[in-house]
Structure 1
Amino acid sequence: MEWYLKVLKNYAVFSGRARRTEYWMFFLFNAIISIILSILQSIANIGEVLTIIYSILVFLPSLAVGARRLHDSGRSGWWLLLGLIPFIGTIILLIFFCLDSEEGDNRYGANPKY
């Protein structure tokens, strides 16, 4: 939960670097919260209102942590635009998000691992 809150505190910070742990923990908690909201919506029979509101609220932090994760592997945040390419873009981004950090400092800042 600490990693999820850290991303939310850096709401629109696109500079710097994010470790794999930070990105994937945010992704995990984001998925869990979305599933819980979907279950609550189906129980209450209220449509997809809660999920849409939540998605809008976490859209910018999701982009920011994705850009910082790409920075950690030495890539520009603009690589996120690959996600607009169906299927292939998602696979390439998944590979980039799974790659380890660049050793030492890079042009985006100090290595957050150390």
Structure 2
Amino acid sequence: MDWMILPFKRYAEFSGRSRRMEYWMFALLNVIVVTVLMFVIFGAGGAAGLMAPGASGELGAGFGALFGGVGLLMLLYAAIVLVPSIAVTVRRLHDRDMSGWWYLGAIIGGMIPVVGFLVSIAFLVLMALPGTPGPNRFGPDPKGVGEAETFA
């Protein structure tokens, strides 16, 4: 559980490095919270606007279901998680000895219609790869491997 909330403790810290465990546990926490919120939204009758007989052709019916009433919780959670998720991704890139600007490149590359799918897959694989062992230009190894104190 500590790994899941660690990005909230390091809320807007864009320097340093983050391990894979911190990144993926935070992603798991987000999936769990969003799933629970979706069950709450649709369980509280948020889907009633989508299933109404005349709502099938209305553009605003889906938005009313998600962002009306209880659905505002989803917007609130997204606003709370935005900065820590960017920060943990930048720190994860730092662990790979890459600049945080690669994240912006992945976002922009992900918007290109056909190439975007490949960029998204490549970024996902990049986040799953292990970090560089030992210290790099962004700080010491978060695992503590390769440091002189380990062998003393």
User: Normalised by the size of structure 1, how large is the TM-score?
Assistant: 0.94
2:82 to 43, 48, 59: 59
User: Identity rate of aligned residues, in percent?
Assistant: 42
Give the counterpart of 1:87 among 96, 117, 134: 117
Q: What letter is aligned with 1:9?
A: K
Instruction: Summarize deviations over 1:68-99 as a string: whole Å, max 9, x none.
Output: 00000111111112123222221121111011
Deviating more after overlay: 60-69 vs 43-52: 43-52
| Runs of 4+ with >4 A deviation | none
Contact 1:10–1:61 under 8 Å retained in 2: yes
Letter in 1 for 2:36: I
TM-score by length of 2: 0.71
- Check the 8 A contact 1:16/1:109 in 2, yes or no: yes
Per the alignment, residue 42 of structure 1 pairs with 42
Contact 1:70 1:77 in 2 (8 A): yes
What is the distance in 2 between the residues matched to 1:89 and 1:37?
A: 29
Structure of larger gyration radius: 2
| Counterpart-to-counterpart distance in 2, 1:80 and 1:112 | 20
Instruction: State the structure with bigger RCO (CA 8 A, min sep 6), 1 or 2.
Output: 1
Structure 2 gaps of 5+ residues are: 47-65, 111-115, 145-152
